[in-house]
Structure formats: C-alpha cells, structure tokens
Structure 1
Amino acid sequence: MSESYLSTLIERQAGKYGVRAALKYRDYKQGVWIPVSWNQFAGKVKKVARALVALGVEVQENVGVFSQNMPECLYTDFGAFKSRIVTIPLYATSSESQVHYIVENASIRYLFVGEQYQYDVAYRVQQLCKTLKRIIIFSPDVMRAAEDTHSIYYDDFLQLGEANELQAEVDRRTGAAVSTDLANILYTSGTTGESKGVMLHHSCYEAAFQAHNKVLLTLTDQDVVMNFLPFTHVFERAWSYYCLTKGCLLCINLYPQDIQMTIKEIRPTAMCSVPRFWEKVYAGVHEKINEASGLKKSLMLDALKTGREHNIDYLMNGKTPPPMLHLKYKFYEKTIYSVLKKTIGIERGNFFPTAGAAVSKQIEEFVHSVGVNMVVGYGLTETTATVSLGWMDDFRTGSVGRLIPGLELKFGEDGEILLRGETVTKGYYKKEALTSKVISEDGWFHTGDAGYMKDGFLYLTDRIKDLFKTSNGKYIAPQAIETKLVVDRYIDQVSIIADQRKFVSALIVPEYKQVEKYAQDHHIAYADRADLLKKPEIIALFQMRIDTLQQEFAHYEQIKKFTLLPEPFSLEKGELTNTLKIKRPVLMKNYANEINKMYEE
C-alpha cells in the first residue's frame, strides 16, 4: 500500500456497512448505550477533516488529544488522518507538567480535551505555553474559565467543517496521503526519566494489520469489542484501529473504574486488557471458593483441577484428553465455567488479548482452565504494539507466544531481544541521539527486554535495565518475584528493593479488605489500618504467605524483610506511570525511611 490506508478507512467501511452500528458509548445521564452508525462516524470524520483545515492546521502538523476514551477521540484521529495531520494522545490522568512538556516538545497549537479535569489542566498550561493557541472541548458539560474567550466546544468546532468549499483541500490532502506519513506520536510515560515521543507512521499500522490478519483468524465483523484500556496506550489504540478494519462494533468505556459494570451491560466477545484485570478475577473466584463449604467448595475446586488437566496438560501439549476427562470438562462447562463467565460478563467471549506486563503462570493457567481464550502477547510502543502472541490452540503458559509474521528477532548481549521490521518505529521525536542509541544503523531495535526462544515460543526473563545487583554481586529480577507475589489474595501491590543492598526486601500494599476480614475472623483488635498492619499476627500471616510463594527462588533472591504500607501506590504521588507500572526511583524517594529501616543492623 503506497497510499495511506487509515486516511480513507472509515469512509470505505461506511460504504460497506452503512447504517449498521460502528461504535457505542454510554450516556451516563440516561444510563443507556448510544449507537453510532458507520455513516454517522464517516460524516463526523469528514467534518473534523474540514474543520482542521478551516483552523489552518497544516499537513503533518501535530494536534493533541487529552481525554479519556470517548467517540470524539476516534472522530478526531480519523479526521486528522484524512487531512494528513498527526495526532498525539495524552493520558487523561496526565499532570500539568507532563502536558506542558508534550505540548511544548511537539509544538502543539490545538489541543482537544475530554472533561473538566483535562480542560482545567490544559487551560493552566496555556497560560505558560508559547505554542498552545486553542483548546477544543469534547464534553458540553465542561465549565470554561470566566476569562477564557478562546476555547471552543467540539460542536462549535464541527460547525467550522460545514463549509463545502473546504472539501477540495481535504480531497487534495487525502489523495496525496502516503504510508510514509506520520500518523501518531505516542509519548511513553516511562518508569524512569522524562517521556519520549515514539513516532508511528501509517506504514507501521498497515504492517501490523497485515501481520494480524494472518494470526487473529476468528476476529470478524460480528465481534463486539469493549475498549477498556486508554486509547492513548499503544495496545488499545492499535487494537481498536485493527478492529475497525475488520468491521467490529467498538463499545467505548469512558471510565476505567466502571469496567465491572459496563462489561456486564455490553457482554463483549473481545477486549484487550492488562494482567491486573485477570488478577482481580482470579482473586474474586478464590474468595468465593474460600467462602464456600462442603459439596459446593469441592465441586468448584474439582472444576478448576479438571479444566487445568483438560486444557493445559492435554490440549496445550497437543494431546487428546481421555473420554472421561472430556465428559467431566463438558459437565463443568455447562455448570461452573458458564456461571463464572456470566458473572464477569464474558460468556460470549471469542478471545481476550492480554499484555502490558508479565502475566503470572498461575493466573494464565486459571484463565485457560475455565475455558477463557486469553491471548497472551508481548509488545512495545516502539513496535506498534504486538511483537508476539500465543494463539488459542497454539500457546504455552509462561511464554508470550510466537513472533508475528514480518518481524525479525535476534538476541544481543545479556539475552536482549532485538527486533527489526515494518512495525518498528523510525525513532523518537526530536531525540536523534536516543534514536541512534536504541536503533542500530542496520535497523535493529534494542528493546531493553531479555528473553529466550524455546520450541518457537518467546519467553521473557526481565527488563535488562530493571535487573538489580545486590551488594554481594548477585543479580535479581524484581518482576519475576513481584509477579509471583501479586497473585496472593492478601497482596494488592508489591515493589522489590535489592539494588546495591545486601539482601532483598519488599514494600507491600495489602489487599486491605482481606486483611480486615482476617482480623475480624481471628478477633484481632486494632485502632486503624496503620495499627492493624503492625500487629504481630498480621506480620506472621504475610511472612507465611511470602515464604510459601517464594520457595522456587534461589536463597539470595528471596525476600528477607518487608514493610506493609497503609496507603496504596498512586498516580497522584507520581509512584505509578499512566499504565500503572511502578516508578521505582519515586518509590525509593517516597519510602526512603521505611526502606532504610529494613536495612538497619
């Protein structure tokens, strides 16, 4: 494809599907889901393309989209592509300094914002920024500042696109659009240092679509897809664009915290998510099992055991399950598994892509055991998401699947994964030195992830730069330990401390509800949460659970001391990235006292 595929995608699909629903979004005032047809979608895209031209946005100029997931994000993206304009998404939770940095770095003149928080932040940034000319507001409920005479609402912006004489310029631009045009710049929040803008050209997306067409064979225009992760995240963005190429119905979840309600309202057939979603499901199911007794409890436990034998021990290893095991599995499929899926809202499930962090083997085995097609993959912003994935009948627990077609892989020093192919970024925006550091002259991108191949499946071992070296010279992979611990129902978040220390310690955020319930069941009196977490019985409970979970690790890798924290790690305190990964340098600073205390003689 030499012309730009995304610039005409929505128009082509409207020609094919017409009045059929392309999108759905939840109207919170009425509590109903509103459909948007392909024709309406294409009409909005056309108006956006014209309105951007009316504002004087030039070919390949950057515009920003600072919003949670809304249909307007997609109208703006595809309208921009139609007029050869680059969109830069910003996380809805971004701080003022993050927004300021991106707006200045990318010379953004026009910034689209979602709701009140984003508008307030953008308006404050505008006072400090030389470049930001105008804010365009998606939600009509946003209250503008009294002195703000420049910002306009999205409906007024679309009015600018009513003029027919603008169409000739839009057509000229669409006709000239090529796959070497820049589509997006995605600023990665990063667990260290300032964010960097990953440039993704139209050719990156086109190569990704072609590769996925060879692998995701069951995704069709009959699929109902829930958009749960932020569109700003490359995983959700590339996946959503791909779903639109297949004619799927996209159901846009506005607030991430509402997913347990909205998933039951939509009952999607597919949804991409991070392991955290499945960890919560796992914890919920095991809580139910622990509360049950007698026959009910033994049936639930046997159902998990049967599913594991049938789907993991036999099917995953290419073996046919014995007839009796198969009959038993079918019985549980009609009873326990179907009830479980219905409770979550995924009983119509086709498949569920999962990536963004390490998936613990325990979680993966559990999800497959109950007959949910979890597709575990690995990808980066720099590779337009997917590098590898394990397909439904071709996966290995613990691996991140097989490499997608069209991508080359080799291993560098320390087992570092190096990649080359059309989906790989051409580099970081305005950061030539960094680009040449991570992409070699012959096109190999250094991922910073270590791994190995076995029987055609890729396995990750850890982030190379995340490897800790103890003062005894031993290397520790913190993520391996954290992934193991976070499946425990008493543990919500964990961060391993080991770098330049004489032993491994941990900061642990407990699952407070479970700990409080334990205290109640064991008649442990306490004044408040901080007091509860200091009780010897609670410390002993955690010690016992940690000792059990870390048995497989070498002695020097095991946690010797830990601190239970009364407050969770948070975005507000800068302890998490926008994709909820832990920022270790910030934790080291924020919890310096607690950490030092663990190493006192």
Structure 2
Amino acid sequence: MQNIALDIRDRARGRGARVAMRHKSDGRWLEITYAELDATVERIAAGLVRLGVAPGDRVALFAPNMPAWTLCDLAVLSVGAVTVPVYVTCTAEQVAAVVEDSGASVLIAGTPQEAVTAAGAAAGRILILCEGVVPAQTPGAIALTALAAAAIEPGTAAELRRREAAASDDDLATIIYTSGTTGDPKGVRLTHANFRCQFASLDRRFVFGPDDHSLCFLPLSHVYERAWSYYVYLTGARNSFVADPKQVVAYLAEVRPTAMVSAPRLYEKVHTAVHEKIDHAPRLRRTLFHWAVRTGGAYQAADRGRRAGPVLKLRHAVADRLVLRKIRDLMGGPKTVLSAGGAPLSSDIENFFLAADLLICQGYGLTETAPMITCNAPAACRFGTVGRPIDGVEVRISDEGEILVRGPNVTAGYHNRPAETAAALRDGWLHTGDVGHLDADGYLVVTDRIKDLIVTSTGKKVAPQRIETLVGGDHFIDQLAVVGDRRQYVSALVVPAFEALKAWAQEKRIVFRDHEDLIGKPEVVQLMEERIRSRSQQLAPFETIRKFTLLARQFTQQTGEITPTLKVRRKVIAERYRHFIDRMYN
C-alpha cells in the first residue's frame, strides 16, 4: 500500500483546480490547488533526491504553520525519508538536541528567524530555507524556491518512481519529540500505518468531505494538527493556515471554517471574552444573554431540538436570533467538526458552546498513538468523557487505574531509548501514564497523569488537572497551577486574566500602577477568593484550594514553565516558585 504522502498526491491529481491550501501574505489570501500541491511536492522531492537524501534518512523540519511545512513534509515522505518536526518555540540548544538525537542530515528552516536559531544545529548538515533572504549567519543555506525550480532530470524522475513503487505503510514516517512535562523529550517513532488506521474512524464518526474548510492553527509540529491535516487533504477539503496562533480568533471570523481541531485554550479564551463583555453590559442586556444561553441549553437537552415543544422552539428561535447566533459567529459560524484534545475541557464551557449549537467533541490521544485513542462524535457524545475507543483500538484499565492501549496506532517505541520503550510497552499494551476509568457504556474518563497526582500529608490522592479545569474555567483566571504534594492541604498559584481584572478594578474605581500593584489590592484578593470558592463546589473538601498566591506574570514556554502544548511543567514551577509555595504552608 502507498504511504500517506503518495496517497494524498494520488488523490490530488484527480482534484485539479480544487483549493487545497490557503495562507495570508501581505494582507491577501493566496491559494494552492491540489494540482499545484502535487506538482510542487514532486519538485521538492526531486531536489531532495539530488541532495542525496535516501530512504530512511531523517530530515528536521523547523518552521511555523505555513504551506511550505506541509509541502516539505509530503516531499520528505514521498522519497521514503523521515520527517523530524521541531517546535518553532524551541531554543537553539533544544533544536540541536533534537537534530543530534534523531541523526538528521538535512534541516529545513521556515524563515530566516528559524535559520538563525538553527545555525549551530545545521553545522555540517544541509540547510534549506523555505522563505525570505538567506541570513549572513547561514551563508550556505539553499533557498527552497531554487531547489524546487530546477528541472527534473530523467534519472531523478526514474528514482522517484522507483521509491514510490517500494513505499510501504510500514515504513517509518516520522520521529516526533514529545513536549516533555516530566523530563527530557523522547523521540516517538511512527509509521505511515500508525497514522492511517484512524482515518476510517473519522469517516464513520463525522460528516466531513470536499466542501469542508479547516483552520490550521495548532502547531503542525504536534501530532494532533498534523494527523488532522493529512485527513483534510485525503478527503479533498481545504486548509487555511494561521501563522500566528494569537490571531486565531480574528481568523475565525474572517475565514469561517466549517471544521477545526483545537486545544481547550481557544474555547476558554472565547468563553472568557464573551463573559467579560457581558459583565460590563447594561443589566437588561446581561439578563437577555443569560436567558438566551439557558434557553439554548434547554433546546439542546431536548434531543438537540428534536423533542422540543412549540413554545421552546419559539423561545429558541428568538434566543438564537438575538444572542446565540452571535456566539457562533465568534467561532466562524456552524461547524461539522469541532474537536478538543490535549487537556480537559470544563463542562461549563462544553455546555456554553452547545447552547449555541456548537458541539465540541472531546477526544484523547498521545504522540505515541498518532494520536487518536478515543473520541466523542456528534451521534455519540457524552460530556465529561473523551469518548469511546476508535475502531481497532482497545483500552483497558490496570489494577492501579492506569489507562492501557493496544492497537495499530501504537508506536513501536522511542528512538534510541530501549529502556523507556520497554517500560512503556509491556505485555503488548502501551502504558499511557494516565489515570482514568471506563464508564458502563465504554466511554473513557481521564483523571490525570500518574506522575502529576498529588498525595497530601494525610494520604489523600488529588488530581490537579481536574481542579485546574474546574477552577481555571473562571473568566477572571488565566492560568492555574495546583500544588500540595506531601503538604497538609491543596494550594494554587494563580495568574489572573488581567484584561478582565483591570476592567473590573476600573469599574470599582480601584487605583493601581501595574499588575504587581493590582494583585496586592485587598479587594482583588477577596474577589479571587470568592471566584475560586464558587468554582470549587463540585470538589471534595480535601480537593478544595485552601490558599492561593496571585502572580503578576504568565507561565511561558520561554521560561520553561509550560510545554509547547501549554501543559504545566510542575517540577519547574515547584522549583521556581518554591518561596511562594512555602509561604502558603508556613
């Protein structure tokens, strides 16, 4: 069977002028058709062959989301080589570590900025620059445009056809380095078959096809967006690229995609923005908003309106026209696929969007499973869970409560890490390191990472992610890190949502100089205490946040406090904020 890249290209040739990709340049949307996708990938692949890239060679790809990312990835796979994605947020040292560990012989940089960062890692290797002027620090870099512009010699064309004939789904497709919340990143080895096995489940669970339009804004270096984008091209839909994730809300309104995969952070931001605006609206408008959301919830609870009576239908039509449609417009209109993964999403946010007829289907996956293990679907969605296992994948819970996975999506192991491979793959099952349970109908509930579980000094086990999801869903809270391991009670480091907090403070006529001054105001501390208490009602007494410390700045990737997928690095935070943490227990 052909590998994924060759399958995408084979289908592309039958789609001609249909748009495959869109990206914005100098304020204009530029389009790449499926015919152009295939032809460009062919030229880049020929250039890689001329450079001596052989089947099995590793090619590091260090670029932001852009068409060239996917075009280069497909070209690498087309020649039988292996793509090694690198997050654009990585430092020069981190890039060098990935390139060295993977044994990459070629490094592709997206822009001059990435080329400069990767200059040290590229020493002694071939460096290709996707766009922009070759910087002085990397004078030997090859421009991708020049590589792709060269004529394809008959011998090179024959070599490409030979490699295509030899391609197999069992070939290694990629080595993806995990973002590493607990230790050094490990290179996960995934074959084409690992990716491909999940696409049939997507076909069965979602109605998605050539007329759909996806927004690509999660990092393509992460397996979630990359696997989804493969599916977009296999179905003949189109993908619009967002180079700067901070602009995604603006892009939603402009692009109006019918589908996208996302981390919970986007939904939390939109939810917060809406509630910030409503909190400062006149009383009548606030009342109307909350009535409309309640009405939307009641309508959806009536079998998504199918069992709604005439009065509820009329009320819903009014609520939709006045309020709910505007919420959908913030998200770019109706959706055929709206997914969340990578972290838990609070039920408050799920219900809020459902009231506006935006069903967010949570799923669960890992880099080690390419990534899908389970997912909810429009016809079978249970809030508070991450859905049922996809076709061909088995999930069971160990005696210790760990989630175990077996199936064709599971990696064969970690690159150059035999000990870690043996520890993760035991008795034919992948040990995920996550704690959870299956309900009576086979829906999976994920509690937390085993290594993240807090055990208090009284012996109580606390899952910090659950608390962070519940309490962190408040629109006055931006980030939250729960602490308390081997301590008497649970505490938290809290980064306020400063835009909302500053608006509240100004409304209350509280004078402040800066963030540091603001979080020290007694009124602010009291407000945050009330918000945390109100969000903690579903928690057991031993899970409740007893004390908290407000922080004046965000946790960032640059400081190593969160991963590229926005997960908290607890060990780093525990060490860096030890003084604040100790003070909450003294």
Deviation at 1:462, TM superposition (A): 1.7
Instruction: Map Cα deviations across residues 215-241 of structure 1 (whole Å, 9 max, x no partner).
Output: 22x100000111010111111000000
SS at match of 2:547: strand
Q: Which residue pairs with 1:292 in the alignment? A: 281
Q: Which residue pairs with 2:349 in the alignment? A: 363
Query: What percentage of residue pairs aligned between the two structures are identical?
Result: 35
Q: Which residue pairs with 1:430 in the alignment? A: 416
SS at match of 2:372: strand
Q: Which residue pairs with 1:230 in the alignment? A: 219
Distance 2:270 2:485 in 1: 33
Deviation at 1:551, TM superposition (A): 2.3
Q: Which residue pairs with 2:513 in the alignment? A: 527
Deviation at 1:484, TM superposition (A): 0.8
2:156 matches 1:166: yes
Select which of 113, 116, 135 maps to 1:117. Answer: 113
Q: What is the TM-score with the length of structure 1 in the denominator? A: 0.94
CA contact (8 A) 2:254 2:332 kept: no
CA contact (8 A) 2:334 2:358 kept: no
Q: Which residue pairs with 1:197 in the alignment? A: 187
Distance 1:154 1:397 in 2: 46
Deviation at 1:463, TM superposition (A): 1.5
Distance 2:486 2:331 in 1: 46
2:42 matches 1:57: no
Instruction: Map Cα deviations across residues 274-293 of structure 1 (whole Å, 9 max, x no partner).
Output: 11100011111212222222
Select which of 287, 301, 321 maps to 2:308. Answer: 321
Distance 1:9 1:179 in 2: 10
Task: Tell me the amino acid that sits aligned with residue 220 of structure 1.
Answer: G
The aligned length equals 585
Q: Which residue pairs with 1:208 in the alignment? A: 198
Q: 1:535 to 1:294 in 2, by over 3 A?
A: closer
Distance 1:294 1:544 in 2: 22
Q: 1:525 to 1:11 in 2, by over 3 A?
A: closer
Instruction: Map Cα deviations across residues 507-530 of structure 1 (whole Å, 9 max, x no partner).
Output: 000011222222222222233321
SS at match of 1:508: strand
Distance 2:184 2:531 in 1: 37
Task: Tell me the amino acid that sits aligned with residue 303 of structure 2.
Answer: L
- Unpaired runs of at least 5, structure 1: none
| 1:261-280 alignment, distance < 5 Å | 261-280=250-269
Deviation at 1:414, TM superposition (A): 2.4
Deviation at 1:161, TM superposition (A): 6.0
Select which of 461, 471, 477 maps to 1:485. Answer: 471
- Unpaired runs of at least 5, structure 2: none
CA contact (8 A) 1:7 1:177 kept: no
Deviation at 1:141, TM superposition (A): 4.0
| 1:129-528 alignment, distance < 5 Å | 132-141=124-133, 143-145=135-137, 148-160=138-150, 162-216=152-206, 218-311=207-300, 313-315=301-303, 320-342=307-329, 344-441=330-427, 443-454=428-439, 455-528=441-514
| 1:35-114 alignment, distance < 5 Å | 35-114=31-110
Deviation at 1:142, TM superposition (A): 5.1
Instruction: Map Cα deviations across residues 148-187 of structure 1 (whole Å, 9 max, x no partner).
Output: 3321111122235633320111110110001110011110
Moved more, 452-461 or 245-254: 452-461
Instruction: Map Cα deviations across residues 511-561 of structure 1 (whole Å, 9 max, x no partner).
Output: 112222222222222333212211111111111111111122222211111
CA contact (8 A) 2:253 2:331 kept: yes
Select which of 29, 32, 42 maps to 2:28. Answer: 32
CA contact (8 A) 2:109 2:115 kept: yes
Distance 2:119 2:385 in 1: 45
Q: What is the TM-score with the length of structure 2 in the denominator? A: 0.97
Distance 1:98 1:539 in 2: 39
SS at match of 2:436: strand
Deviation at 1:319, TM superposition (A): 7.8
Deviation at 1:323, TM superposition (A): 3.0
2:529 matches 1:543: yes
Distance 2:493 2:33 in 1: 49
Deviation at 1:81, TM superposition (A): 1.6
CA contact (8 A) 1:182 1:200 kept: yes
SS at match of 1:17: coil
CA contact (8 A) 2:375 2:388 kept: yes
Deviation at 1:363, TM superposition (A): 0.6
